[in-house]
Chain A
């Protein structure tokens, strides 16, 4: 069993595929039956499936925020015996090197161990782990790529931002991020809400043609997921160069 089997991205991938296929199927059914009731019947079927699955989802695990201890410092700690890791009985066999935060009782005055106490979210851990594994394996892996992105959806990670309220509001990074998010939200909402109206009313496109926007969106979304890491490295310079020359 390969390790990529466990990754969050492997599950999230199916959401993108399902979205594209559903838009396509509903569009085809709409053209075929010429009645808007099929939209609601497909919606009812999907909702029934969701209710059925969520009833069987076992989501009652105790949430202990784990943090990866960098390997050199862990070996240094264990060999020098400066800190005693406090590991619970339940998770002792599984942890084996990863230590639940906030379970240390005492600490020597070592500044580089302060980072062990910084709280971190599962989302940031997933992202870092996916980044490291992508670097290690070298080739493209769609599941890992979606892992490093899907964990950012709807989950904020603010460990690298300024902490006081005034410094948050006056920080250039935060301001540019908020402005970018605002503009991006405006563009996205216009497309999401009014594209189909425009295609149908102004371009007089039949519903079966409109339905093909679903798979198109899904394929481009997955391609972007796949190459997001490479774009991050190589596209930044290209964007700066374009902005300067313009």
Chain B
């Protein structure tokens, strides 16, 4: 009986440890990807893509407006299909990540273009801004809402009973 109790509690602890490890890794990963590229992108726009201050401000301003629209949309989709919460987070992160990698490809194409072609450089600057804006929009639409999706996913994984389990349940059992 004691061996059964010990093994049951071990596997219970192991399952909970794995699920709480997933929660920790979700937070580590989402904050890591949000701290890797977006803070350094203004420097990238100025140094590699040679944007002016106006153009940098324009490209950066897209994200909050798109995020304010995208967050409710993705939250609605996740609430309607709760079993797809994990896959939705994965797919949106993939699409948003691809958009940021496309900005890197744009930078490579700019740095490999010969700089003595002045006319084509002026023409392509507007195209550069347009393309970068499009990929910034895609990143803001797909990846940025993942912050709130991760918050709700972790709350659901922990579960309301587990969040409250340690305190209210023990208080109630003490009173009896």
A interface list, Cβ under 8 A from B: 1-8, 10-12, 14-23, 26, 30, 36-37, 39-40, 42-44, 46-47, 49-51, 53-61, 63-66, 68, 71, 91, 94-98, 122-123, 125-126, 129, 132-133, 150-151, 153-155, 189, 192-194, 196-197, 200-201, 207, 214
Complex contact A71–B82 (CB within 8 A): no
Complex contact A54–B31 (CB within 8 A): no
Complex contact A53–B22 (CB within 8 A): yes
Q: How many residues of B contact A (CB 8 A)?
A: 73
Residues of B within 8 A of A133 (CB): 167
Residues of B within 8 A of A11 (CB): 20, 23-24, 26-27, 154, 158
CA distance A39 to B94 in the complex (A): 17
A228: min CB distance to chain B, Å: 18
Complex contact A192–B39 (CB within 8 A): yes
17 contacts between A and B (CB under 8 A): A2-B166, A6-B158, A7-B166, A8-B158, A18-B28, A18-B31, A36-B40, A39-B44, A43-B101, A44-B101, A46-B33, A50-B146, A57-B22, A125-B163, A153-B151, A154-B151, A193-B60
CA distance A186 to B119 in the complex (A): 38
Complex contact B158–A39 (CB within 8 A): no
Max chain B C-beta neighbours (<10 A), residue from A39, A53, A207? A53
Chain A residue with the shortest CB-CB distance to B20: A11
Complex contact A19–B34 (CB within 8 A): yes
Residues of B within 8 A of A20 (CB): 35
- Specify the main secondary structure of chain B where it touches its partner: helix
A23: min CB distance to chain B, Å: 5
Given contacts A6-B165, A54-B26, A55-B86, contact A16 B31 (CB under 8 A): yes
Residues of B within 8 A of A68 (CB): 164, 168
CA distance A207 to B42 in the complex (A): 13
Asked if B138 CB lies within 8 Å of chain A CBs, one says no
CA distance A193 to B163 in the complex (A): 35
